[in-house]
Amino acid sequence: MNEHELCPFDIAFADYIMQRFQLSDAVVKDQLIQLMSSSRLGHVCTNLDRPLPEVLLESGAFVEHSEQTYLQRNWKLETHLIDPLLKLINDNTGKVIHLPEALTHGLNFEQKQAVEQSLAAQLFILAGGPGTGKTFTARKIIEAHIARSDKPLRIALAAPTGKAISKLKQSLDGVKDTVPVTAATLHTLLGIKRSADFLKKPKCLPYDVILIDECSMIDMALWTVLLRALLPHTKLILLGDIHQLPSVEPGHVFEDLWNVIKDKRSTLGVELKQSMRTDSQALLDLANKVKLGQCDTSIKIDSMPSEDALIDLISPQFSTPFSNEIDQKVLSESQILCGLRQGPFGVDRLNSKIFNHITLACKPQDRLAIPILLTRNAPDLDLCNGQMGVWVHHVHPETQKHLPHPQDYVLFSDRDSLPFSMLPPHELAYAISVHKSQGSEYNRVHFIMPPGSEHFGRKMLYTAITRARNELAIYGTPDTYNQCIAKSGQRTSGLAIRLIKLLQ
């Protein structure tokens, strides 16, 4: 393991375990550092050169299985997924139901195949990249289930973020008038408000069909709660892009599950590959090359922008005072994406620089439009983590320009304005991380890729590129770009292997 992939916490963890069990072997310390570092970087398990001492395995803090070593928490989370996933995979008729033209009109071959195969499955995966029509096909899947049911269906739509939920709700306009449809973030649907809620027995979800988008973002702990909350007859339909960044926490359950069904139950999933877009072929071609690990020598990579140049990257509606109304479409026009959270060109520093630069140039009584991103659910206000809004800021006198004004309010695209004082926890969003951009698309993307971004590999690069509808600018160095391409970003996990063995 490279030294630059370590952090002080990895070493502190190893020192604690060595002291706790009175060990002195330097090789064992290196193994412990490797285990913690691997888990921190998203791997569920690690292939060590030699077994850990028996005293550590007997303590239960570490588990060895099939030549892989797990931290106890990762092992338990992965193990809790096995039985419910096996049940869902095995509960299918295996018979593809052919639908009349009225229910498949407007679908291409792949989309029609997905709709028909989903009807026979307890678990179905609809995978695909941007522009392949996943949400359109999801609507057709729901319509087909409603048409073939002899009773009113209870349907739930869910996703990890508020942005993805809004997109799903829009795609099902009209359908919601015929049957009751619940739409919420996964945390809200499952009643998770704090970390301790993951340890409680979840409430049963009273739905016949649950459709979940952006599944690549869901971590093992959330998958565990979701699977425990399903009723025996509930159908689970999963949407996502297997090539996007996985969850922040360890694991890549969605990709593992996709690999399992393509190997053992191919009728339980369809990957949409035909793009419906006609105006961004160059971006789609670039994304496909990145996905395959191919370098594109023709790609233009600009040097890192100066502080003054940063202002030119954001929408003019955000960079100068305004006097008229704010167009909500500004949130989908242009966006700065960052490969890192911390550092000189990380999200936090860029947002601070841009905000200070703009507010210092303003006069008292000016009004500013400031993009913000919610970082926590607020069910009582019908607001979700990940939702974007525009803070309308009335500038204070010279010494307090950056402070909220009593007249400040926030605009959201799908609800009335909200006084700023009522806003749940949030952060500035002139720049956002690539992770938090998942589920969103923008006409123009400025992707800032400082050294260190390469640790996330080509999945991060692919995710950033596919957020752009029409224009993409990349800032960094060719070396960082090529290192991203060279690193697959694949995470080590035992889930797929364990499931495939049990399905044989």
* Chain segment 424-470, per-residue pLDDT in tens: 999 999 999 999 998 888 999 999 999 999 989 999 999 999 999 89
pLDDT in tens, 145-198: 999 988 889 999 999 988 788 888 888 877 766 788 898 889 889 988 877 888
pLDDT in tens, 38-67: 999 899 999 999 999 999 999 999 999 999
How far, in Å, CA of 126 to CA of 240, rounded? 7
∠367-368-370 over CA atoms, to 5°?
Answer: 150
In the predicted structure, residue 120 carries a pLDDT above the cut 70: yes
How far, in Å, CA of 235 to CA of 210, rounded? 6
Contacts of 26 (CB under 8 A, 6+ apart): none
pLDDT band at 310 (very low <50, low <70, confident <90, very high): confident
Please compute the mean of the pLDDT values over residues 268-291 and round it to a whole number.
Answer: 85
**Helices 253-264 and 495-503, axial angle in degrees (round to 10):** 30
- The amino acid at 341: R
The per-type count for the chain, helices as H runs and strands as E runs, is 19, 19
In the predicted structure, residue 30 carries a pLDDT above the cut 90: yes
Sheet holding 431-433, edge to edge: 301-302, 468-475, 442-448, 334-338, 431-433
Structure-block tokens of residue 215: 């599944």
Q: Would you list the DSSP string of 336-388?
A: EEES-SSSTTSHHHHHHHHHHHHHHT--TT-EEEEEEEE-S-BGGGTB-TT-E
The candidate with the shortest Cα–Cα distance to 125, out of 245, 226, 228, 266, is 266
The pLDDT, as a whole number, for residue 399 is 56
The overall longest dimension of the chain from CA atoms, in Å, is 71
Please compute the mean of the pLDDT values over residues 60-78 and round it to a whole number.
Answer: 96
